Amino acid sequence: MRRSLLSLCLAALAGAASAAPTTSIELSFLGRHSTGHYDLGGAEIPTYDPATRRLFVVNLADRAIDVLDISQPTAPVKVGALDISLLGQAANSVSAKNGVVAVAVEATVKTQPGLVAFYDAATLALLSTVPVGALPDMLTWTPDGQKVVVANEGEPSDDYTVDPEGSISIIDARDPRHPIVRTAGFGAWNSAKARSKLLAAGVRLNGPGATTAQDLEPEYITVRSDSRVAWVTLQENNAVARVNLDTAAVTQIVALGAKDHMAMGEGLDPSDKDNTVAIANWPVFGLYQPDAIANYSVGGQRYLVTANEGDSREYGAHNETSRVKSLNLDPVAFPNASALKTDAQLGRLTVTTAQGDTDGDGDFDRLYAFGARSFSVWTTDGRRVFDSGDQIERLVAAQYPANFNAGHTTNTRDDRSDNKGPEPEGLVLAHLWGKPYLFLGLERIGGVMVWDMSVPSAPQFVQYMNTRDFSATPGTAAAGDLGPEGLIVIPGQDSPTGRPLLVVANEVSGTTAIFQISPR
């Protein structure tokens, strides 16, 4: 019955031939582990060690990495924890390879350098630590298991008096007891000429008094299969950096631009006050601002896939957000400004004040919202090959009309329509039964959407699985999984069941959910 409803929704999408569902794989829920922490980051990022059949999950609430035995995936059991409290403020990311677990640890003062800690996956012994840049936000092993690559976000202090440079650490971890770190920075773009080129290309640089290197904030990493090149999202900057891992150098910064929500199939629901599903075209541009990124190859061509979550800068000394109704709109660009600024139309939509005044006269000629409410496929030089448009919001509306665009702490319909909608944040790509599949987590309403990515220009929708119970109150055990953050796929050859597994860490409910992936 569920599949039938989704099919009807997809058939109604104008020009959405690429969205026809496939019959290739199916997710089924197996089990979950709960930390008992609600809205405290109890389960954020998972990784897996096949030799021990253990998941290692970032538990921000306990300042630890939870160690879960999933020999029986239907009943995960916590068997230990890595205590991070003596190393720094919090663990932000974790990644396991060849029996070694790497953990990104934020300093007690986030603007100071963080570190990466290496642990033995079997004994849980601390092997070593190595300093990296400020606020290491995400890390991953290279496919060959020789290096760990770290995105050091370098966020400023709330008063913007301290703003560390963003950077990428490349750690030679062939001997995890004696790691060697090199740093790829953005100093080459600090000159006025280089900065002007980035701005002209569309890279967002708006930190008060910040150099380019201070302004650029690495978020998430994907590494090419040969372990020599990485691509790193610069989320707040709406760009992607290319990094040569052999030379530890950033070689390219590519601006991603914005999508036109007036284009066919690119609509959105911008109001949280009309209490209805109202996806339509509006005179707004959506900044992609991806969080998670992955890469894969089809027919000898490599592609990047991004989850276009969106993110704003909101600090005590610098806040770029505003609702449309508070802005002075250009009368030529927006002749119907008074109507647009009502709550039922665009008035409630959160947009940036850092761009949009194209002629410098003090009013806004364009409106730019945070995030694109979609996932995109790109060439490695930043040409968009595909964008899911408004397909995610329409799928959510078809399956959960009474809770459309609910937040992750409330069941209220339309709660997030004014600010990034379903908010696609985490993703993972996996090759299964000869095909590439995308698993995309929706941070707000929850759940995972699946696409067959065999044709990069025309991904095929497969399934939307949401293990949240909207009849229960968020914060109770009955509510299920809320706020998916990190996702991994465990290949069949490494899985306790012999079948591939999807693992989703849900930061709001503090739960780690395990799904079996089966052919159908």
Written as one string, the DSSP assignment of 452-512 is: E-SSTTS-EEEEEE--B-TTS-TTSGGGB---EEEEEEE-GGGSTTSS-EEEEEETTTTEE
Q: 114 lies in a domain?
A: yes
Higher pLDDT, 22 or 43: 43
Q: 322 lies in a domain?
A: no
DSSP β-ladder status, 229-234 and 239-244: antiparallel
Q: 76 lies in a domain?
A: yes
Tell me the per-residue pLDDT of 90-133, one tens digit each, with 9 for 90 and over. Answer: 999 999 999 999 999 999 999 999 999 999 999 999 999 999 99
Tell me the per-residue pLDDT of 404-444, one tens digit each, with 9 for 90 and over. Answer: 999 999 999 999 999 999 999 999 999 999 999 999 999 99
Q: 317 lies in a domain?
A: no
List the domain range (segments joined by +) for residue 203: 2-311+371-519
How much of the chain is helix, strand and coil, in % rounded to 5?
10, 40, 50
Residue 4 in this model has a pLDDT that exceeds 50: no
Buried b (16+ CB within 10 A) or exposed e, 323-355: bbbebebbeebbeebeebbebebbbbbbbbbbb
The whole-angstrom separation of Cα 92 and Cα 60 is 8
Rounded alpha-carbon distances, angstroms, from residue 29 to 143, 158, 480, 504: 28, 41, 12, 11
> What is the rounded average pLDDT of the residues 21-38?
89
Q: 336 lies in a domain?
A: no
Residue 12 in this model has a pLDDT that exceeds 80: no
The whole-angstrom separation of Cα 207 and Cα 468 is 38
Number of domains into which the chain is organized? 1
Tell me the per-residue pLDDT of 247-296, one tens digit each, with 9 for 90 and over. Answer: 999 999 999 999 999 999 999 999 999 989 999 999 999 999 999 999 99
Range with lowest mean pLDDT among 18-27, 289-298, 314-323: 18-27
Q: 347 lies in a domain?
A: no
> What is the rounded average pLDDT of the residues 151-159?
98
The confidence score (pLDDT) of residue 138 equals: 98
- The answer for residues whose C-beta is within 8 angstroms of residue 383's C-beta and 6 or more apart is none
Q: What percent of the chain has pLDDT over 90?
A: 95
The CATH number of residue 511's host domain is 2.130.10.10
> What is the rounded average pLDDT of the residues 27-41?
98
> What is the rounded average pLDDT of the residues 165-172?
98
The confidence score (pLDDT) of residue 23 equals: 66
Residue 191 in this model has a pLDDT that exceeds 50: yes
Q: 338 lies in a domain?
A: no
What's the CA angle centered on 57, arms 56 and 62, to 5 degrees? Answer: 120
Per-residue pLDDT band for 14 (boundaries 50, 70, 90) equals very low
Q: Mean pLDDT score of the chain, rounded to an integer?
A: 95
pTM of the model: 0.94
Residue 22 in this model has a pLDDT that exceeds 70: no
String of DSSP letters for 158-199:
TTSS--PPPEEEEEE-SSTTS-EEEEE--GGG-SHHHHHHHH
Q: 340 lies in a domain?
A: no
Residue 334 in this model has a pLDDT that exceeds 80: yes
